[in-house]
Structure 1
Amino acid sequence: MSNVGLRIFPNISRPHQALIEGFSGIPVANIADNMNRTSCMDAKIRPINDVPLLGPAFTVKVRPGDNLMLHRALDLAKAGDILVVDAQGDLSNAIMGELMALWAKQRGIGGLIIDGAIRDLGALKKMALPIYAAGVTPAGPYKDGPGEINVAVACGGVVVQPGDIIVGDEDGIVVINPRDAEELLEKSRSKSRAESQVMQEIANLSWDRTWVERDLANRGAVVEKEKRNFPRVAINEPVEILLKEAEQPIEATAINISALGILLQSEAELELNSLFRLHLPKQLGEMHVEARVIWRQKHYFGCDFVDLSAELRGTLEDVVSAYLWLELAQ
């Protein structure tokens, strides 16, 4: 008689140890690259220490905040097994701490992955047992159940079956179906060899980078010839707008400026694309320039400078540089 949600399957099929050990030392990233970037647990599942993880999955499903079934799994798992615990990502209660980790280590368990919270972080960091978790909290667990052992679980966004090969390093965790493992192992080894070759090419500056431009060209990327080197600085300085139809200059505040344009705040009624003269005071180069409104929002006007001479542009560049130095000095 079955009792879904409160079941234990103590016996699982494990891959040959030689196949599992073949993945030892291969970066998780290289393995994942050969799986089309799939089957990686998401970034919230982080290593607690720097001990690499490798072994067959011994899966545990628990109610969030409850560790009764995890306790049983610690007694049933065999040496080298990786306990993969689906706690539904809940971080309200830690479902494992130092004592349980010590028991796991004494029994030779290969590591633990908790899609939930743990505690006793300081002790776990020092322990020679690979542990991954989604978070840390001092709040302890309940021991009421329900839960299941060795059923399909979801951990870090990946479905894990009992007996799957689990590989973990500082980047994260990848899950391997044993049926795919032999082919994947050879591809991963080849990938590692290729990266070693690239590192040698980087060291002697011979790394072929032509594919970058080629791929960008195939995607329609356009290389513009215009030089883009116009930093913009905040200034908040008074300026004067000179309109032909106005008898007196109109006061405005220059919010920021570059060698290409200026952002103004003013009560003036300036229309889009309208041209006007602008008087910049001594601290901005003491000059008159022509500007065009390219956008407006309430009393703010974004303006481009029009037909600047090389001399005026040079002066504006000097002004911008001076303000940049002031910003850096503050």
Structure 2
Amino acid sequence: MSNVGLRIYLEFNRPPRALVEGFAGIPVANIADNMNRMSCMDARIRPINETALLGPAFTVRSRPGDNLMLNKALDLAQPGDIVVVDVQGDLTHSVMGELMALWGRKRGIGGFIIDGAIRDVGALKTMDIPIYAAGVTPAGPYKDGPGEINVPVVCGGVAVHPGDILVGDEDGVVVINPFDAEGLLEKSRATLRKEDAILNDIDNMTWDRTWIERILKERGVAVLQENRSFSRADIYEPVTVVLEGRASTQPATAINISNGGIILQVEQPLENDQLIRLTLPRKLGNVEIKAKVIWQQGNNYGCKFVDMSSDVQAILDSVAYYCRKN
């Protein structure tokens, strides 16, 4: 009877070596693009050195902070295998350091991916064996178990099965089901050729960018000349409001102003889209200006300035900037 949580599976199907090696030199990003951006380990899993990673997965699952099964995996993995360690992302204890990495390298192990912490980073950075990890801590591991070898694991948020093809570079790691590998390899090579052509187009300033306008048009994107980089300042100043087409005035308080509009606090309600004329006091430029009510919240009304001359615009630019600074 198997002991759940303390099991070691010695056999699994490794993909053909030629199929694995076909992915050598293909950027991980190109492979991921041809997998619809799926099966990429998340950004926590980062390379410790600059050695590229490629090989079949040899999986280890352990309790957080324990490396008993990882130590056993170092003696079981075959040359070229990538040891993938799932310790549930725990960063409180490192599960591998210089000595274990050196032993793995001597045995021909193809690399390590650890969803957890490591240590001895200074030494690991100089090694010619690829190592990826989620973090670093000097705190050492426990060696008690439990754990399992060559079972499905989760690493960097992605399921990894024994024998999956792993490709890693400076961008991160992608996980490939061997049954998908042949078609994916063909597509990835085609993408690489396409990008080489684009690089040539960039060099010659002939890169076709018309697709951007096509998508913007399909999405109904509005391209506006209006300047939205408004300086805005909170204020509390009295202003006079005149409703368009009427002679009567009503008092209001300006509580916020920018070079594009003003927020008024009034006692008598205004209507959306209503045009008003404002007389601003000396502190706010001593100008008269037309505005349109565009929103209302309680007694507060947001108004957009309209039909401004360049002189008035310049005054409001200065007013908003000065009020914001002071």
- TM superposition score category, shorter chain reference: 0.7 to 0.9
Letter in 1 for 2:181: A
Alignment of 1:160-199 (within 5 A): 160-199=160-199
Letter in 2 for 1:252: T
Name 2:232's counterpart in structure 1: 234
Name 2:74's counterpart in structure 1: 74
Name 1:113's counterpart in structure 2: 113
Structure 1 residues 32, 267: closer, same or farther in 2, change over 3 A?
same
Q: How far did 1:233 drift?
A: 0.5
How far, CA to CA, are the matches of 2:269 and 2:16 in structure 1?
78
Aligned alpha-carbon RMSD (Å): 3.1
How far, CA to CA, are the matches of 1:126 and 1:320 in structure 2?
60
Letter in 2 for 1:256: I
Q: How far did 1:222 drift?
A: 4.4
Letter in 2 for 1:118: I
Name 2:91's counterpart in structure 1: 91
How far, CA to CA, are the matches of 2:127 and 2:196 in structure 1?
31
Per-residue CA deviations over 1:269-327 (Å, capped at 9, x if unaligned) read: 55443654423345644311233433344564321224x2xxx4312432355478879
Alignment of 1:299-318 (within 5 A): 300-306=300-306, 308=307, 312-318=308-314
Name 2:7's counterpart in structure 1: 7
How far, CA to CA, are the matches of 2:200 and 2:316 in structure 1?
43
Q: 8 Å contact 2:239–2:280 — kept in the other structure?
A: no
How far, CA to CA, are the matches of 2:316 and 2:17 in structure 1?
66
Percent identical pairs in the alignment equals 57
Q: 8 Å contact 2:236–2:256 — kept in the other structure?
A: no
Q: 8 Å contact 2:54–2:166 — kept in the other structure?
A: yes
How far, CA to CA, are the matches of 2:320 and 2:137 in structure 1?
45
Name 2:256's counterpart in structure 1: 255
Secondary structure at the counterpart of residue 126 of structure 1 = coil
| Structure 1: 5+ residue stretches without partners | none
Alignment of 1:2-151 (within 5 A): 2-151=2-151
Structure 1 residues 21, 244: closer, same or farther in 2, change over 3 A?
closer
Secondary structure at the counterpart of residue 116 of structure 1 = strand
Per-residue CA deviations over 1:180-199 (Å, capped at 9, x if unaligned) read: 22222222111101100011
Structure 1 residues 241, 73: closer, same or farther in 2, change over 3 A?
same
Q: 8 Å contact 2:241–2:279 — kept in the other structure?
A: no
Per-residue CA deviations over 1:238-285 (Å, capped at 9, x if unaligned) read: 64321469x9984734533123x1234x47555443654423345644
Q: How far did 1:25 drift?
A: 1.0
Structure 1 residues 319, 237: closer, same or farther in 2, change over 3 A?
farther
| Structure 2: 5+ residue stretches without partners | none
Q: How far did 1:99 drift?
A: 2.4
Structure 1 residues 240, 211: closer, same or farther in 2, change over 3 A?
same
Structure 1 residues 122, 297: closer, same or farther in 2, change over 3 A?
farther
Alignment of 1:278-289 (within 5 A): 278-282=278-282, 284-289=284-289
How far, CA to CA, are the matches of 1:299 and 1:33 in structure 2?
52
